[in-house]
Amino acid sequence: MPIDPAQVAPDPGAIERLEAMCASLSPALSSTKILARQACYRPITDDGLPVIGRVPGVTGAYVATWHGVWGILNAPATGEAIAELIVDGSARSIAQHLAFVIPRPSSLTRCLIPCRE
Protein backbone atom coordinates (compact mmCIF):
# COMPACT_ATOMS: atom_id res chain seq x y z
CA MET A 1 0.00 0.00 0.00
CA PRO A 2 1.49 3.37 -0.95
CA ILE A 3 2.10 5.91 1.80
CA ASP A 4 0.76 8.73 -0.38
CA PRO A 5 -3.01 8.29 -1.02
CA ALA A 6 -2.58 10.05 -4.37
CA GLN A 7 -0.59 7.02 -5.54
CA VAL A 8 -3.52 4.63 -5.02
CA ALA A 9 -4.77 3.66 -8.47
CA PRO A 10 -8.01 1.90 -9.39
CA ASP A 11 -7.96 -1.54 -10.96
CA PRO A 12 -9.05 -1.04 -14.61
CA GLY A 13 -10.73 -4.46 -14.72
CA ALA A 14 -12.74 -3.75 -11.58
CA ILE A 15 -13.88 -0.42 -12.99
CA GLU A 16 -14.99 -2.05 -16.24
CA ARG A 17 -16.98 -4.67 -14.32
CA LEU A 18 -18.60 -1.98 -12.14
CA GLU A 19 -19.50 0.12 -15.18
CA ALA A 20 -21.06 -2.92 -16.86
CA MET A 21 -23.07 -3.78 -13.74
CA CYS A 22 -24.34 -0.19 -13.43
CA ALA A 23 -25.33 -0.10 -17.10
CA SER A 24 -27.22 -3.40 -16.82
CA LEU A 25 -29.00 -2.37 -13.61
CA SER A 26 -29.95 1.07 -14.86
CA PRO A 27 -29.95 1.80 -18.59
CA ALA A 28 -30.04 5.52 -17.74
CA LEU A 29 -26.56 5.14 -16.27
CA SER A 30 -25.11 3.51 -19.38
CA SER A 31 -24.97 6.82 -21.26
CA THR A 32 -24.08 9.00 -18.28
CA LYS A 33 -20.70 10.69 -18.43
CA ILE A 34 -18.28 9.32 -15.81
CA LEU A 35 -16.61 12.22 -14.03
CA ALA A 36 -13.92 10.29 -12.14
CA ARG A 37 -12.50 6.82 -11.70
CA GLN A 38 -10.78 6.44 -8.37
CA ALA A 39 -9.86 3.98 -5.63
CA CYS A 40 -9.16 4.11 -1.93
CA TYR A 41 -8.26 1.73 0.85
CA ARG A 42 -10.65 1.00 3.68
CA PRO A 43 -9.22 0.71 7.16
CA ILE A 44 -9.44 -2.84 8.48
CA THR A 45 -7.86 -4.87 11.26
CA ASP A 46 -5.65 -7.89 10.62
CA ASP A 47 -8.47 -10.22 11.69
CA GLY A 48 -11.18 -8.31 9.79
CA LEU A 49 -13.22 -7.57 12.90
CA PRO A 50 -14.28 -4.05 13.90
CA VAL A 51 -12.86 -2.27 16.92
CA ILE A 52 -15.65 -1.16 19.27
CA GLY A 53 -15.24 -0.15 22.89
CA ARG A 54 -13.38 1.97 25.42
CA VAL A 55 -9.95 3.32 24.54
CA PRO A 56 -7.57 1.78 27.07
CA GLY A 57 -5.88 4.41 29.24
CA VAL A 58 -8.02 7.33 28.03
CA THR A 59 -10.94 8.13 30.33
CA GLY A 60 -14.21 8.83 28.51
CA ALA A 61 -12.88 7.94 25.06
CA TYR A 62 -14.56 5.32 22.88
CA VAL A 63 -14.01 3.98 19.37
CA ALA A 64 -16.27 2.33 16.83
CA THR A 65 -14.20 1.89 13.71
CA TRP A 66 -12.49 -0.43 11.24
CA HIS A 67 -15.69 -1.95 9.89
CA GLY A 68 -14.19 -2.10 6.40
CA VAL A 69 -16.84 -2.41 3.73
CA TRP A 70 -19.46 -3.42 6.33
CA GLY A 71 -19.77 -0.02 8.04
CA ILE A 72 -23.20 0.91 6.71
CA LEU A 73 -24.62 -2.56 7.36
CA ASN A 74 -23.25 -2.66 10.93
CA ALA A 75 -23.91 0.99 11.81
CA PRO A 76 -27.23 0.45 13.67
CA ALA A 77 -25.86 -2.32 15.92
CA THR A 78 -22.58 -0.46 16.46
CA GLY A 79 -24.41 2.74 17.38
CA GLU A 80 -26.62 0.88 19.83
CA ALA A 81 -23.63 -0.88 21.40
CA ILE A 82 -21.61 2.33 21.81
CA ALA A 83 -24.64 4.17 23.26
CA GLU A 84 -25.16 1.38 25.79
CA LEU A 85 -21.47 1.37 26.67
CA ILE A 86 -21.39 5.13 27.23
CA VAL A 87 -24.72 5.41 29.09
CA ASP A 88 -24.91 2.09 30.95
CA GLY A 89 -21.25 1.08 31.17
CA SER A 90 -21.79 -2.15 29.22
CA ALA A 91 -22.98 -3.05 25.75
CA ARG A 92 -25.65 -5.64 26.55
CA SER A 93 -26.86 -5.87 22.95
CA ILE A 94 -23.54 -7.36 21.83
CA ALA A 95 -22.27 -8.70 25.16
CA GLN A 96 -21.76 -12.22 23.81
CA HIS A 97 -19.46 -10.79 21.12
CA LEU A 98 -17.41 -8.36 23.22
CA ALA A 99 -14.39 -10.66 23.25
CA PHE A 100 -13.77 -9.75 19.60
CA VAL A 101 -14.88 -6.13 19.45
CA ILE A 102 -13.15 -4.52 22.43
CA PRO A 103 -10.06 -2.68 21.17
CA ARG A 104 -7.24 -5.16 20.67
CA PRO A 105 -4.14 -3.19 19.69
CA SER A 106 -2.17 -6.30 18.78
CA SER A 107 -4.57 -7.01 15.89
CA LEU A 108 -4.62 -3.53 14.38
CA THR A 109 -2.79 -2.83 11.16
CA ARG A 110 -2.59 0.84 12.05
CA CYS A 111 -3.56 2.79 15.16
CA LEU A 112 -5.15 6.18 14.69
CA ILE A 113 -5.02 6.77 18.44
CA PRO A 114 -2.30 5.92 20.95
CA CYS A 115 -2.79 2.20 21.59
CA ARG A 116 -1.83 0.65 24.92
CA GLU A 117 -2.22 -2.95 26.02
**Residues 6 or more apart from 54 whose CB is under 8 A from it?**
61, 62, 85, 102, 103
State pTM to two decimals. 0.53
**Per-residue pLDDT tens over the stretch 45-72:** 777 778 888 888 888 888 888 887 778 8
pLDDT single digits (tens) 3-48: 777 788 888 898 899 888 888 888 887 788 888 888 877 777 777 7
Backbone angles phi, psi at 53, to 5 degrees: 150, -170
Q: Give me the residue spans of the domains in the chain.
A: 1-41, 51-107
